[in-house]
Structure 1
Amino acid sequence: MKHTYAVTGMTCAGCQYKVQHLLSQVDHVKEASVDLEKGQVTVDMDQHIATPTLQSALKEYPKYQLTDAPAVASSISGDAVQDEAKSWFETYKPIVIIFGYITLVSIIVGSTLIGFNELLAMRVFMAGFFLVFSFFKLLNLDGFADSYAMYDVIARRFKGWGYLYALIELALGIAYAADFNPVATNIITLVVMSVSIIGVLQTVLNKRAIQCACLGGVFNLPMSTVTIIEDGLMILMSALMLFMY
């Protein structure tokens, strides 16, 4: 069963992720989905949960006030229709542009006078990927940690892993850029990204409608096969680089 509630005090994607995460931890809640623009949260539960129980889940953050939402008209607004009509490119444009920029720079750097250096191009790509993606996570580290804890297998049990993960990405980006101990760097990448993709696969295969935390709380991107491809590409490239070394 699903119930919709009004939530006040949410001002950004970080608030959205925090409310979703806190309500998702309540017993018998299968999923909590926040509509930031409407100031509402839809809770999917396997049995009825009293409103005070949900309110108590937010008690450590008094600015978030949950109440029973007023009746919502059944007609679909123009904004909703526009959201439904969004193309794949419009939805994932930030990731497409970032990957395009990083790929272009990698190709340019890898193109040497004696031919194309695949190892150099991949190293530059990995450096760019981790530096750019860690940058967006660090812009709102709390928001990223809350969002990441909603699906990552480690962050669900230890929220601090979300903070550590962003710093690991930054360190890996610097290591690839400096060509520091490439074997160790690629082994760490292979392990970290392999663990990360487990939660992504579980979320996508279970068709849970939550936001992807890959770009932190800056962009509201849905979790999908795009996230699997993103993590899978890092795993594949780190494995190839290990083989080449």
Structure 2
Amino acid sequence: MSPSKTAVLYRMVMPKHLCPYGLKALHLLKAKGYAVEDHWLETRAATDAFKAEHGVSTTPQTFIDGQRIGGYDDLRRHFGARTRDPNALTYTPVLAVFAVAALLALAVSQATFGTPLTVRAGEWFVAFSMSLLAMLKLRDVETFSTMFLNYDLLARRWVPYGYVYPFAELAAGVLMAAGILTWLAAPLGLLIGGVGAVSVFKAVYVDKRELKCACVGGDSHVPLGFVSLTENLMMIAMSLWMLVPRHG
């Protein structure tokens, strides 16, 4: 029988602070079959003393076979798992928005018409996407408007447009979802979608600039490119669709 695997973990467990990475490290070690000697650092003084003794700046810290592995990310790398780079570019945020918007649209269509696959579901998908993206921008309009100035042509000529944009996008999305005030929603969608599409195309495909998109807010790590252009083209298509006369 192979000897049992043992790891030693030091993590902060204080009355007003329970380190989440310590809990993650504990869970990961147990999942990998380790018996864990779980040492709690229950005061700030104990934590500072531990850091000074081992020459580290953060906790938790894991030791295996007497060797210090490090913090939670170091532990993940030790077991061959990938670690997230907080500054890496990723399409995940905007793809998550589109996925949630699609599911909501299908659900509302099912509840309304008894089937998820309807033309109205497609309309709701675009409207919900716009509304969710606007919500993310509205978390911090100041930071969004600053990032937006990196590439939007209208905002560069009229700075307040960067502050107006999230509210205009939300208004257009909500009105499109409700199917009302087409005379307002369609022009709004055409304006922000049209200017956005031209701005993204120029920045990415003409000027060949590598920028972050402000589409999910000013703290975005979404690269400006095809997905951003698609978002704007969806708004244009939806706005034009709303202007098509309905018969019957």
TM-score by length of 1: 0.58
Alignment of 1:1-245 (within 5 A): 91-111=90-110, 112-113=113-114, 116-118=117-119, 120-205=120-205, 206-243=207-244, 245=246
Task: Name the CA distance, whole Å, in 2 between partners of 1:140 and 1:195.
Answer: 22
Task: Name the CA distance, whole Å, in 2 between partners of 1:192 and 1:237.
Answer: 12
Task: Name the CA distance, whole Å, in 2 between partners of 1:180 and 1:237.
Answer: 14
Task: Name the CA distance, whole Å, in 2 between partners of 1:176 and 1:170.
Answer: 10
CA contact (8 A) 2:212 2:224 kept: yes
Task: Name the CA distance, whole Å, in 2 between partners of 1:242 and 1:116.
Answer: 22
Task: Name the CA distance, whole Å, in 2 between partners of 1:115 and 1:243.
Answer: 23
Residues 244 and 92 of structure 1, relative CA distance in 2, 3 Å threshold: farther
SS in 2 for 1:235: helix
Q: Which moved more, 1:226-235 or 1:172-181?
A: 172-181
| Residue matched to 2:24 | none
The runs of at least 4 aligned residues of structure 1 exceeding 3 Å deviation read 113-117
Residues 188 and 220 of structure 1, relative CA distance in 2, 3 Å threshold: same
SS in 2 for 1:91: coil
SS in 2 for 1:222: coil
| C-alpha RMSD of the superposition | 2.6
Deviation at 1:213, TM superposition (A): 0.6
Between 1 and 2, higher relative CO (CA 8 Å, sep ≥ 6) is seen in 1
The code of the aligned residue for 1:211 comes to K
Paired-residue identity, %: 30
| Residue matched to 1:68 | none
CA contact (8 A) 2:153 2:199 kept: yes
Task: Name the CA distance, whole Å, in 2 between partners of 1:213 and 1:107.
Answer: 27
The code of the aligned residue for 1:186 comes to A
Task: Name the CA distance, whole Å, in 2 between partners of 1:135 and 1:176.
Answer: 16
What are the ranges of 5 or more consecutive residues in structure 2 without an aligned counterpart? 1-76, 78-83
Deviation at 1:224, TM superposition (A): 1.3
Aligned length: 160
TM-score by length of 2: 0.58
Task: Name the CA distance, whole Å, in 1 between partners of 2:174 and 2:237.
Answer: 20
Residues 114 and 96 of structure 1, relative CA distance in 2, 3 Å threshold: closer
SS in 1 for 2:217: coil
Residues 109 and 128 of structure 1, relative CA distance in 2, 3 Å threshold: same
| Residue matched to 1:19 | none
Question: Looking at CA atoms only, which structure, 1 or 2, has the larger radius of gyration?
Answer: 2
Task: Name the CA distance, whole Å, in 2 between partners of 1:127 and 1:213.
Answer: 19
Residues 154 and 115 of structure 1, relative CA distance in 2, 3 Å threshold: closer
Deviation at 1:191, TM superposition (A): 2.6
Deviation at 1:132, TM superposition (A): 1.0
Deviation at 1:114, TM superposition (A): 7.6
CA contact (8 A) 1:146 1:159 kept: no
